[in-house]
Amino acid sequence: MLASCKPNQMTIEVSNPSNIVHENTTVEILWSDVVAKLPAASPANVVVVNAETGSELTRQIVYHGASTPQALIFQVTLAPSESVKLFVKEGVPKEPVYKTFGRFVPERKDDFAWENDRVVYRIFGPGLAAENPSSGLDLWLKKTENLIINKFYKDDLENDKSYHVDWGEGLDCYKVGAGGLGAGALAPFVNGRFWPGKHFITQEVLDNGPIRTSFRVTYDNYLVEEEMFSKSLIISIDAGSQFSKAVVSFDGNFTEIGVAAGIILHDDPGNIKTNLAAGYHAFGEIAVSDAGLSAGRNYVATVIPDGKMTQSLNQQSHLLAIASYRKGEEFTYYFGAGWSEWGFENDQKWFDHVATFAEKLKNPLRVAL
């Protein structure tokens, strides 16, 4: 490892050993490593600068829901075989532009919604249980880098501007369906079928921008065959990414079970791209507003890294990526989305993006302190 001898400064070298571009990729440094080199470091007095240009990078101190700092994160863009040297030192950080956000939405039947500068998602809470007690993932299509969750809910509830209509920045026209997994939720897969469960019962924001937003939700016990299961997960989203990361745990009377990451197949059969070796499903379909108007094409995907995706199935009106889960472990996978009106003009562009994302997971940046 490389280390700086200068007081009040540490050196970080980030390199890209792969043959793909890492664009807006988040680098994470343990806070304990920061304070080991900068004993006086605090969340308020640490900056990250490019060693060559002197330009300051946006950085975030993440807590993972704890009361003390856990890590320092920032983002870099590196071409194949490129590297960059950075300094972490004491200083007053610049005012950041927030590119991620998430919150509990009690005023709208207990939704939990999260977003970055590319996509918006939400999941359903107890307030919607009487109508649709779903554990599926709902997708909003956006075509602006602005954070829109608060605006869309406020306009829908107070200004008679439904978020099911595109007023210029996007809309919600995705259909999760009762008992469906929507745009990539994970469920137990037992005796040849998936068991989706119901709404979440608890939620907790862990970190909230500018680079990363993360939160924890838990789901109440529900019946899988004749056994009771429960589920908890931590979801995070980083600036610039089409994908959210989910770390999932199940509990119940089992040692090992199958799990399925599912994408609902609507009336339009859509266009499917599967790569079992790379661990992904990519899907494109016609997007139609509630008023029956064309909204281009929406895109979704699931990625199960590390060779854990064992099977691809098309059943129960879903495209399912099958893997196995052992009790007591954490299962990590990714779900993502895009829109033909915001960066992906055709299905192939989306498929290429998903393939590149899966390749980046296998070839991460290298970090030397």
Q: Would you say 239 and 75 are in contact if contact means Cβ atoms under 8 Å apart? A: yes
For residue 67, being part of any structural domain is answered with: yes
Which of these three, 71, 95, 119, is where a domain ends? 95
For residue 77, being part of any structural domain is answered with: yes
pLDDT in the model for residue 6: 52
pTM of the model: 0.96
Same structural domain for residues 88 and 154?
Answer: no
pLDDT in the model for residue 180: 92
Give the C-alpha distances (Å, rounded to integers) separating 188 from 256, 257, 282, 339.
10, 7, 21, 29
* φ, ψ dihedrals at 191, nearest 5°: 55, 40
pLDDT along the chain (369 residues), means of 10: 58 97 97 95 96 97 97 98 97 96 97 98 92 91 97 96 95 90 96 92 97 96 87 97 98 94 90 97 94 92 97 95 96 98 97 98 96
Looking at the 3D structure of the chain, how many domains does it have?
A: 2
Same structural domain for residues 273 and 320?
Answer: yes
For residue 367, being part of any structural domain is answered with: no
* Rounded CA separation 165/156 (Å): 10
Same structural domain for residues 90 and 38?
Answer: yes
For residue 323, being part of any structural domain is answered with: yes
Same structural domain for residues 234 and 164?
Answer: yes
For residue 46, being part of any structural domain is answered with: yes
Range of the domain at 21: 9-95
In the chain, count of helices (H) and strands (E)?
3, 26
pLDDT in tens, 191-250: 999 999 899 999 999 999 999 999 999 998 888 888 899 999 999 999 999 999 999 999
Same structural domain for residues 270 and 174?
Answer: yes
Which helix H or strand E contains 62, and what residues bound it? strand 59-62
For residue 368, being part of any structural domain is answered with: no
Same structural domain for residues 147 and 200?
Answer: yes
Same structural domain for residues 48 and 161?
Answer: no
End-to-end CA distance of the chain: 6
* Rounded CA separation 121/241 (Å): 13
pLDDT in the model for residue 267: 80
pLDDT in the model for residue 289: 87
The dihedral built from the CA positions of residue 97, 211, 149 and 118, taken in this order, carries a sign that is positive
pLDDT in the model for residue 310: 97
DSSP class of 362: H
pLDDT in the model for residue 7: 57
pLDDT in the model for residue 131: 83
For residue 2, being part of any structural domain is answered with: no
Same structural domain for residues 13 and 152?
Answer: no
Q: Would you say 16 and 80 are in contact if contact means Cβ atoms under 8 Å apart? A: yes
Query: 71: which 2 tokens?
Result: 């890590």
Same structural domain for residues 293 and 205?
Answer: yes
Query: 62: which 2 tokens?
Result: 């993440």
Which helix H or strand E contains 334, and what residues bound it? strand 331-339
Which of these three, 95, 111, 139, is where a domain ends? 95
For residue 197, being part of any structural domain is answered with: yes
Question: Nearest CA to 149 among 128, 131, 165, 172?
Answer: 172
What CATH number does residue 222 fall under? 2.70.98
* Rounded CA separation 248/18 (Å): 29
Same structural domain for residues 70 and 106?
Answer: no
* Rounded CA separation 59/87 (Å): 12
What CATH number does residue 41 fall under? 2.60.40.1180
Same structural domain for residues 73 and 143?
Answer: no
Same structural domain for residues 132 and 15?
Answer: no
pLDDT in tens, 346-368: 999 999 999 999 999 999 999 99
Which of these three, 39, 72, 95, is where a domain ends? 95
DSSP class of 217: E
Return mean pLDDT, the chain.
94
pLDDT in the model for residue 160: 94
